């Protein structure tokens, strides 16, 4: 590692530590205003078994967004197993959560991790994760617009709710215009970025002994390589539509997580309002705190008070439950994934990972990549039997959970469908992986 890289790593650590301290201060200030004791009293009213509903629903976004990343990898000719795509997306989410400014700080680190794990160049890696995250952001705003349209057509919108609906509409227009302008002038933006970054990089290189800064031409080549990867993705609109649909499905699960968090506290919020709040709450990602720590909880709690009839202590408790299930738990999983790829990265880069079409223990849930599904005889029979058993167990798990009343029974039909779908997805994946491991001995 060069001295320049060491200096950059130290600066990243200092920024992250500073962001954590700032986030802790914001969180402390917010709950000081709301009342620590009031929030604690509200949280203690939640039966522990009801928290299972939050964990079940919150696991779905990682699965569907990881599937979107797998489709993007496939389009960019990056050979990676489906299970690894899920882990890589989880790892990227963790990196976004521990660096300031959210995805702007975490996506470059995710691209470095992709390079180590699956031997892809940095520019293609950042194009892959950046495109998935961008489509997910657009999906969140799209659902927010649906919430605006529903509220405008069904109820009289006024006061704070009117302000929020106008803000979401303006945000949607600005996002659409910025994407269109950036796409039209993408080559010019590459040259402009290289011109701006070159003197800054050279100034930084003079501060660090032994550092060799890249030339402007090298920066432009990297930029055009990134644009070429984006162009390749844009040439397959059907695939992008599927990725966008997966983004919508993931954000519906995210919105359902917030709805369930309010439901376990005894408040039945309109789903349209929840869809409206989610994209605004994600603006906390621009704060200089890791993963919006502190700022996200404060902003979400404030939005819930402004747009619903819920009190400040309930809103603060709901924000904590939502962030714990939708962000902290997935970040923990992503942290484990980062550790896995850091430890095994050299093995992957050395070419010891099995080919994409070769079945393996960790890739059992993607048997469609294996020829066993299409070959006659006993080799094709076993996967079909396993599939039938897995589907049966998944359906049975939904029936058992309904009869036992372990999970929250939503009044919203949409949340009910998403909750049951989440149970099926989670039970299917866990059962499929377990049965495959057992069948392979």
pLDDT of res. 48: 76
285 with 386, same domain? Answer: no
34 with 131, same domain? Answer: yes
296 with 370, same domain? Answer: no
| Residue 164 neighbours by CB under 8 Å, 6+ apart | 276, 277, 280, 303, 306, 307
Provide mean pLDDT across the span 39-57: 80
95 with 138, same domain? Answer: yes
63 with 87, same domain? Answer: yes
Q: In the structure, what pLDDT confidence band is assigned to residue 73 with cuts at 50, 70 and 90?
A: very high
Residues 286-340: pLDDT tens digits? 666 776 777 788 888 888 888 777 888 988 999 899 988 888 888 888 889 888 8
Q: Which of 82-91, 195-204, 362-371 is the most confident on average? A: 82-91
333 with 381, same domain? Answer: no
337 with 375, same domain? Answer: no
For residues 240 and 74, is the Cβ–Cβ distance under 8 A? no
Q: Which of 13-27, 142-156, 215-229 is the most confident on average? A: 215-229
Number of CB atoms found within 10 A of residue 334's CB:
24
Closest CA to 12 of 134, 122, 138, 99: 99
Residues 210-228: pLDDT tens digits? 566 777 788 888 888 888 8
Would you say residue 156 lies in a domain? yes
pLDDT, the chain, mean: 75
Among 349, 372, 398, the domain-final residue is 349
Query: From residue 53, how far is each of 125, 324, 345, 401 by CA, in Å?
Result: 34, 13, 35, 10
SS3 content of the chain, % helix, strand, coil (to 5): 85, 0, 15
pLDDT of res. 409: 62
Provide mean pLDDT across the span 89-111: 81
Residues 247-288: pLDDT tens digits? 888 888 888 888 888 888 888 888 888 888 888 777 766 666
Would you say residue 354 lies in a domain? no
pTM of the complete model: 0.73
315 with 382, same domain? Answer: no
CA 328 – CA 291 distance, rounded (Å): 10
Would you say residue 179 lies in a domain? yes
CA 97 – CA 91 distance, rounded (Å): 10
Closest CA to 162 of 258, 271, 306, 279: 306
Domains: count for the chain: 2
Would you say residue 356 lies in a domain? no
The DSSP symbol for 156 reads: -
Cα dihedral 405, 407, 408, 409 sign: negative
Would you say residue 296 lies in a domain? yes
Among 325, 349, 373, the domain-final residue is 349
171 with 242, same domain? Answer: yes
pLDDT of res. 10: 62
Would you say residue 273 lies in a domain? yes
399 with 273, same domain? Answer: no
Among 329, 349, 369, the domain-final residue is 349
Q: In the structure, what pLDDT confidence band is assigned to residue 353 with cuts at 50, 70 and 90?
A: very low
345 with 370, same domain? Answer: no
Would you say residue 355 lies in a domain? no
Whether the predicted pLDDT of 150 surpasses 90: no
435 with 314, same domain? Answer: no
Would you say residue 248 lies in a domain? yes
Domain limits for position 369: 361-439
Whether the predicted pLDDT of 436 surpasses 80: no
Whether the predicted pLDDT of 370 surpasses 50: no
Burial class (CB in 10 A: 0-12, 13-18, 19+), 135: buried
């Amino acid at each position: 590692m060069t001295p320049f890289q060491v200096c950059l790593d130290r600066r990243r650590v200092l920024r992250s530590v500073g962001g954590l301290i700032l986030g802790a201060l914001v969180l402390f200030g917010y709950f000081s205003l709301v009342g620590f004791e009031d929030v604690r009293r509200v949280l203690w009213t939640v039966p522990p078994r009801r928290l299972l509903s939050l964990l079940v629903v919150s696991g779905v976004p990682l699965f569907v967004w990881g599937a979107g990343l797998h489709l993007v990898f496939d389009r960019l000719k990056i050979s990676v197993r489906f299970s690894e795509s899920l882990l890589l997306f989880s790892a990227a989410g963790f990196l976004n959560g521990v660096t300031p400014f959210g995805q702007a700080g975490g996506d470059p680190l995710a691209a470095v991790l992709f390079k180590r794990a699956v031997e892809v160049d940095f520019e293609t890696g950042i194009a892959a994760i950046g495109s998935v995250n961008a489509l997910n952001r657009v999906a969140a705003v799209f659902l927010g617009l649906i919430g605006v349209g529903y509220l405008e057509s069904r109820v009289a919108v006024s006061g704070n709710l009117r302000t929020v609906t106008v803000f979401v509409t303006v945000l949607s227009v600005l996002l659409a215009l910025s994407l269109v302008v950036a796409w039209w002038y993408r080559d010019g933006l590459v040259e402009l970025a290289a011109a701006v970054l070159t003197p800054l990089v050279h100034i930084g290189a003079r501060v660090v002994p032994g550092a060799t800064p890249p030339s402007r031409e090298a920066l432009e080549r990297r930029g055009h390589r990134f644009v070429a990867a984006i162009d390749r993705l844009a040439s397959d609109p059907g695939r992008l539509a599927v990725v966008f649909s997966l983004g919508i499905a993931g954000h519906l699960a995210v919105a359902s997580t917030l709805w369930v968090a309010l439901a376990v506290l005894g408040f039945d919020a309109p789903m349209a309002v929840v869809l409206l709040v989610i994209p605004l709450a994600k603006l906390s990602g621009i704060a200089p705190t890791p993963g919006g720590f502190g700022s996200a909880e404060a902003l979400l709690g404030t939005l819930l008070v402004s747009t619903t009839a819920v009190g400040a202590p309930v809103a603060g408790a709901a924000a904590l439950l939502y962030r714990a299930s939708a962000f902290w738990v997935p970040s923990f999983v992503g942290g484990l994934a980062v550790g896995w790829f850091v430890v095994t990265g050299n093995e992957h880069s050395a070419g010891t990972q099995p080919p994409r079409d070769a079945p393996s223990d960790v890739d059992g849930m993607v048997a469609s990549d294996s020829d066993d599904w299409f070959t006659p005889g006993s080799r094709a029979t076993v996967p079909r039997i396993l599939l039938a058993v897995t589907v049966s167990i998944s359906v049975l798990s939904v029936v058992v959970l309904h009869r036992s009343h372990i999970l929250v029974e939503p009044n919203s039909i949409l949340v009910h469908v998403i909750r049951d779908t989440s149970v099926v997805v989670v039970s299917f994946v866990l059962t499929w992986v377990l049965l495959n491991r057992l069948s392979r001995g």
